Structure 1
Amino acid sequence: MSKHVSLSKTPTSKGSLRKTLTSETSPPAATPRATAPAAPSATPAYDELVRKEARLRSEQVDEIARLRRRLNSARNAAEKPLPTEQRSPSLQDHVITRAAITYLLENADAIDGWTEEGILESLRRLKG
């Protein structure tokens, strides 16, 4: 069963706009029996991702941007001798954020704490 999520703006009683999340569910599409399932890609397609807003501290945004620039510079230097069509696309901040979330979830069983600081401390214990 596929799920379509859309974000719409609706007027409020005070005349301003409010974002409303709506969800529609459609029946599963019929798939031919002879078709082999596609191999999952390492990087999900844009339309396979779900939008989720996160509030970050300004220093976190700055450090993610700094990390992105460092990784892109290293990648560009390594791929310089390659033809253009063989080079990887540039990393973006959201890719780094998804990788960090994946790491967090892969280690979910070892994480405890009831605050941001407590969760962070349990992640630091994992690092050793």
Structure 2
Amino acid sequence: MPVTPEEARRRLEQALTLIPDRYRAGVSTARWKEATTKAAQTWQAKMQEAISKGLWLKGVQAANEEEWRTRAMAAADLIPSRLRAALDKWMTKWSPIYRNVLNVLPTLPPRTADPMANIDQRLKKVVQAWRAHKA
């Protein structure tokens, strides 16, 4: 059964204490430069001017891996406090969208053994409910 927005907020608040250590663990093993370079094709669609001039990739290649890691690690302790400060805004903006999805769930047909049918008959309706709020 889906949780209410208030319960989702409570769970997010509880999870905030886990973020710094998990963030540090991810940063400590991240190979952001390699992954970012591989993402160049995706970025082209949204950042055509910078990519066509080669500015984005030049900046990535010129970056220092350890300098990035040091700065990223320093940010770990900021994440919970900034999320905590944004919880009311998050609830205001996210809650109506989530409620819209909750309203769709009871109307969905039962799950089947066919994943493609589930996508067509269930998932697409949930995505439409999320996207309806953007329109």
Q: TM-score range by the shorter chain?
A: under 0.3
Of structures 1 and 2, the one with the larger relative CO (CA 8 A, separation 6+) is 2
TM-score relative to the length of structure 2: 0.26
- Please give the TM-score of this superposition, normalised by the length of structure 1: 0.27
Q: Which has the higher helix share?
A: 2
Higher strand share: 1
